[in-house]
Structure 1
Amino acid sequence: MMKLAVFASGTGSNFDAIVHAIQNGELDAEVTMLVCDRVGAPVIEKAQNYEIDTIVFSANVYESKAQYEEALLKDCRERGIDYIILAGFMRLIGPTLLEPYRNRILNIHPSLLPAFPGKDAIGQAFDQQVKITGVTVHFVDEGMDTGPIIEQEAVRIEDGDTKDDVVRKIQAIEHKLYPSVIRTLKIKEESI
């Protein structure tokens, strides 16, 4: 069974979607741990309710990014983590984690990359008055939302849509697309 570590910083709606897909038998995997960099983030309580090991850290207590990534890498190795799944994790991954998990760290982003990378992609799309935006799942590399694209799905912004409407449309796609992409990785691994 594929072992996942989910890294999140916020509410955890994609974390929830992944766990639900596992519980419903749609995804043959196990979320072995949640890593969160924000004390008090709602995703922590969700993980505790699912009885999933949770690691909460504050980056500013470490001397460097490499130091906290080394601690996280140790935790991942001890638990036999196959993939790191970023789900609203608001930190760039550095080489300490990236190198041992190259092509095994995934991110989901609320735009059709390369359009609107970085923070508030939905707001960027809304401000630019685009009619089509979407969701991208990609492998993580050294850049911000620059890694190889695995899957994308478009979302139409209709006349009269508010930003909240677009957020709801994006999240509905994310919650189906992310578990689907993870399932595809499992299938590819089994065929090797």
Structure 2
Amino acid sequence: MRRYPVALSMAALSLIPLAGCTADGTSSKTAPSAVSSSSPTPSPPTTPIPATTPTTTPATAPPTTPPTDPCMAAGTVNSTPPPAWTAAARPPAGMRWVAGEHGLVVGMLFADPLKSAQDNKILWIVKLPRDGAPLQMRATLFGTRDSFALTPVPPDSGPGEIYPSMVPVPTPGCWILTMAWNGHQDSVA
């Protein structure tokens, strides 16, 4: 397994965020209209997903080691075969992939590095049953309040527990992707 900076237009859950950074795209195309742009009061996804809440340390607290920037800490793109539990989905052989922080999701990358301002095809394979629930995703630019909800991915594909998706982000940077399906959550790097 080799570690690379992940050029993904996605990243992490609010509980233990991981992230990837997009490469600067060559296309001048903007993000599709199916994706709502950032706004002060973004519309919530169909299934509630917990929001990341910044924490502060009281002035009297002793200094601590600063938290690791998820964009710098994340970035493992795997070139080895994906976990055995993905076999039912028949992932393409030799394709590079990213794994969920909690081991519940794998993203098969159809392009590496992924680009901003372009649709990036990613096949999400989930370990726990979807049971007819769509995949909800929300992207947030790390360190900002810029965020948008991606169009929910319907559970209408097979074999296995898969969600084929197009993941666009409007600008290069480290994007945090919150993912939830059927009451389950995981983060991807």
Same fold flag (TM > 0.5): no
TM-score with structure 1 setting the length: 0.28
TM-score with structure 2 setting the length: 0.28
Which structure: greater helix fraction? 1
